[in-house]
Chains A and B, each alone.
Chain A
């Protein structure tokens, strides 16, 4: 077994290019790559008030850990975490516990917004009243509430833990469905010009593979026990994920290739779909909406009958 490429210690991780790294060199590589992405895309600016969308899972905890370490070195931005409690029994209480423990240990302010408090129902209660797919309901309401929370808390940036696997899966799903308009809303930074009520979202882990995020979380004591949402059954995404993982194993660099190709054409997509991106306000809640009533209010109306 060959030693770490950088320092000759015992290796713990093999990058997709073949280089092996020890614990410290892998951690340096991982954090360095996230910082490079932040710089490359201008994700953070001086005096930013940065909200991290924290779920208590490995991705969001990893990105919060990196930002916390950056902030300790250079205090030119403020940092806090926001957690959305959808009300999913058997899943969310455990992850809230992890999130609270991490924030307490690192003195990071944590704000929790719940579906129950804002929509009057937990996701579990909603699912008893509808045949809508839980992930669709949750996705719409969670995006709505996290944006509202970030804005209320005066965040200038909203950081998410999306990684290279998440993004390459969505890019391929949109291609397979012929939905370039949805792809125009992707990328390392989103929500920049659409509406003042949208807090700009940034993804520092954009070029880091899910396997790398898990390794970083494990090596730095951030990986809690496997916690799976009982509603998770994204069959179409699951198929795309399996396909990309097979390709990645046979042809290392596949996922990064998808992201790099996508970044090259992203501006063209944004230009093409710019006019359609203009948004008004929902007449019920005044939050940004492309229609008369936003998707979140539409779902809540259906649920409350």
Chain B
């Protein structure tokens, strides 16, 4: 089982060749790669915004859970995420299957029986707690692979569709909150424009 996601070079050699430096407005072309310590949260950026503190909590979000429906899929919504998708992760594991936490640093990866993960007791419960802690860590520490492969066009499309889909769950229950985002609206950029 392999994952294509989050493939980042282990060394800085790749960065040396790809990273660019913003020098003048006219040179703004394609985004350059971020410094090694900011990529994929490999290390906490020095000026991490307070996203984690101000974003809606899980409890707040869970009130508007999104449940994909056939209508969503037939309407062109994505059926699976663009990066690192595989069929084994697309469904809830059965009791005989195992959960492997792919989106963790390799050192923290563990494989535990699903039953012990969900209903564990004693030692099994401790294992489940380790998984939970590792998953929390994975929220800010992403895995690093040795090979870089730029996402394909299809993956880019899918990424945008998933982001759009997740946004919708916040305001689909309040139609008045939805609306076309006007890039050049003064309110969008505040007083800076």
| Pairing of A with B | no
Which residues of B are interface residues toward A (Cβ below 8 A)? none
